[in-house]
Amino acid sequence: MTHELTASRLASASSNATASGGWWRDAVIYQVYVRSFADSDGDGFGDLRGVRERLPHLARLGVDAVWLTPFYVSPQADGGYDVADYRAVDPLFGDLSDADALVDSAHALGLRVIVDVVPNHTSEQHPWFREALAGVPGARDLYHFRPGRGPGGAEPPNDWKSVFGGPAWSRTPDGEWYLHLFAPEQPDLNWEHPEVAEEFASVLRFWLDLGIDGFRVDVAHGMVKAPGLPDIGHGAQATLIGTEPLPFFDQDGVHEILRSWRRLLDSYEGPRIGVAEAWAPTSERLALYVRPDELHQAFNFRFLNCPWDPAAMRKVIDESLAATSSVGAPTTWVLSNHDVVRHVTRYGGGERGLARARAAALLMLALPGSAYVYQGEELGLPEVLDLPDSVRQDPAFARGEGQDGLRDGCRVPIPWSGGEAPYDFGDGGSWLPQPADWGGLSVAAQTGDPHSTLELYRAALELRRALPGLGAPDAGPPTWLSAPKDVLLFTRPGFACTLNTRPAVLELPSPGRPVLSSSPVETDGRTVRLPPDSCTWWAL
């Protein structure tokens, strides 16, 4: 089942950073949330065959790679981020031959394939955890089992809270407690145990041998816990994305693990890459994850979290670029993913939210480095805010006090064509109900409409390939030019970008010849009227 990646196939489709040392350095990577992308067998859940059938959409969109969220055997307590067998495909999504065929077809279209690996925790149904619960000698050492505190050990061993709400500890029938930074169905592994490291090296090899081009490492900052599992002290809610140093995130020991993974990745013909889903209190600490001997990329969630404020955006852009360039890595940019409210809605929703989302996409794609596009953002999909509680599957919602009870609303299956749900997502409904007014947002409805968000993304990605100044991290950081309040104006080689964050038209001297805009610009060649909440690309 090993795939030979013919260099020429991918080289021809790869973008302009290939020449300067690595396809990932300016790659646009499309996140496929597998259960919500395309359903080939009518069970209401997206699957690998569905992804494979829809790959031409991604090739036409113009992305370089696809990141597939977990499709491994799992009880689905957390959308597949609770893995029971790391080497097998869950029947919900197909089988190994579907994964194999998908990788093959993607490569034939010039698309690379990145898969998720979930090393911080397993499913409670993983054989190791079942053995641990069954009392098999030594099995508990692979996890964090501890006696409780207080009379009868009835209190959790420390004050850590789960990211999804409630204590980060659950008690077994025999009275011991085990640690789970996420849901109780996701027990945390003990990475001090050599068997854990050996097993994951073998899992990585399994998928690399199948031909995948890299891994997105889930909770890469969480694998190592501070010695002694100390209390935080003030009982604060743990958050996945925060600025507070925490005894279970961003411990120095994670870097040794990730370095050993880099050596493993480098032992394959490639380059095969590792992308850290990591959160660190500062950009400088985040940059440690992408040192030359560590992973290739880390998600830059500061950009995603940045408000619609030009000064804040400029600060995040400058600081992100400075931190990663200090270690020679490309920066990544991301606006949405399966864990956050879609950015159309974060930016205010409605027409204004959409205008800003389109502008933010052009800003992101004009910056040096690699960009991530979450399925459906190329259609301008908003968050679905009115899902009935009865259909929600996010464990954070069920646990009540999680920091984010809204992750189902960004996971609603995407519309492909037709005027009624499921909009050709499949022919058997969809696991989350789609809004009745999504027909006009479908891929088919937007194709060929020059004002559509889909055509804007297609045009932007085509230009990004054609204009070497765009994206390429080695072409240097943006040069900021003075601009009216509320406007960002920067140049890169042969190219300028304006962002008007004001909800009003703004006039300024024309920076060049407009080549693409998120809303129509008016220019007489000397002055330009920038539309409200818009981004424009200019050839110099």
Instruction: List the catalytic residues.
Output: 218, 277
Rg, C-alpha atoms of the chain: 23
Instruction: Judge contact between 276 and 299, C-beta under 8 A.
Output: yes
Q: Which residues of 29-47 are buried (b: 16+ CB within 10 A; e: fewer)?
A: bbbbbbbbbbbbeeebbbb
Nearer to ligand BGC, 105 or 393 (CB): 393
**Does 223 sit near ligand BGC (CB under 6 A)?**
no
Q: Contact with ligand BGC (CB under 6 A): which of 182, 261, 372, 374?
A: 182
Give the CA dihedral 204, 205, 206, 210, nearest 10 degrees. 110
Q: Which residues of 126-158 are buried (b: 16+ CB within 10 A; e: fewer)?
A: bebbeebbeeeeebbebbbbbebeeeeeeebbb
Q: CA angle, corner 377, sides to 375 and 380, nearest 5? A: 140
Map the footprint of ligand BGC across residues 343-362, applying CB under 6 A. Answer: none
In whole angstroms, give the CA distance from residue 97 to residue 93.
Answer: 11
Class of residue 444 by CB neighbours under 10 A (exposed 0-12, middle 13-18, buried 19+): middle
Binding mask 261-290 for ligand BGC (x = CB under 6 A): ----------------x-------------
Binding mask 138-177 for ligand BGC (x = CB under 6 A): ----------------------------------------
**Does 248 sit near ligand BGC (CB under 6 A)?**
no
In terms of Cα–Cα distance, which of 218, 237, 317, 224 is closest to 276?
218
The phi and psi torsions of 504 (rounded to 5 degrees) equal -145, 160
Nearest residue (beta carbon) to ligand BGC? 81
**Does 218 sit near ligand BGC (CB under 6 A)?**
yes
Q: How far is the CB of 338 from ligand BGC (least distance, A)?
A: 6
Q: How far is the CB of 513 from ligand BGC (least distance, A)?
A: 41
Q: Contact with ligand BGC (CB under 6 A): which of 26, 47, 64, 78?
A: 78
Binding mask 310-339 for ligand BGC (x = CB under 6 A): ----------------------------xx
**Does 118 sit near ligand BGC (CB under 6 A)?**
yes
The phi and psi torsions of 28 (rounded to 5 degrees) equal -100, 120
Nearer to ligand BGC, 402 or 477 (CB): 402
Nearer to ligand BGC, 122 or 158 (CB): 122
**Does 124 sit near ligand BGC (CB under 6 A)?**
no
Nearer to ligand BGC, 105 or 237 (CB): 237
What is the size of the binding site for ligand BGC (CB under 6 A)? Answer: 10
DSSP code of residue 449 = -
Q: How far is the CB of 169 from ligand BGC (least distance, A)?
A: 17
Nearer to ligand BGC, 98 or 339 (CB): 339
In whole angstroms, give the CA distance from residue 239 to residue 237.
Answer: 6
Nearer to ligand BGC, 295 or 445 (CB): 295
**Does 71 sit near ligand BGC (CB under 6 A)?**
no
Structure tokens, 435: 């809004």
HSE at residue 415, side-chain half, CA atoms within 13 A, is: 26
In terms of Cα–Cα distance, which of 129, 191, 120, 127 is closest to 162?
120
Map the footprint of ligand BGC across residues 378-397, applying CB under 6 A. Answer: none
Nearer to ligand BGC, 105 or 239 (CB): 239
In whole angstroms, give the CA distance from residue 113 to residue 111.
Answer: 7
Q: How far is the CB of 222 from ligand BGC (least distance, A)?
A: 8
**Does 219 sit near ligand BGC (CB under 6 A)?**
yes
**Does 81 sit near ligand BGC (CB under 6 A)?**
yes
Residue with tokens 């021809």: 12
Q: Which residues contribute to the site for ligand BGC (CB under 6 A)? A: 78, 81, 118, 182, 218-219, 240, 277, 338-339
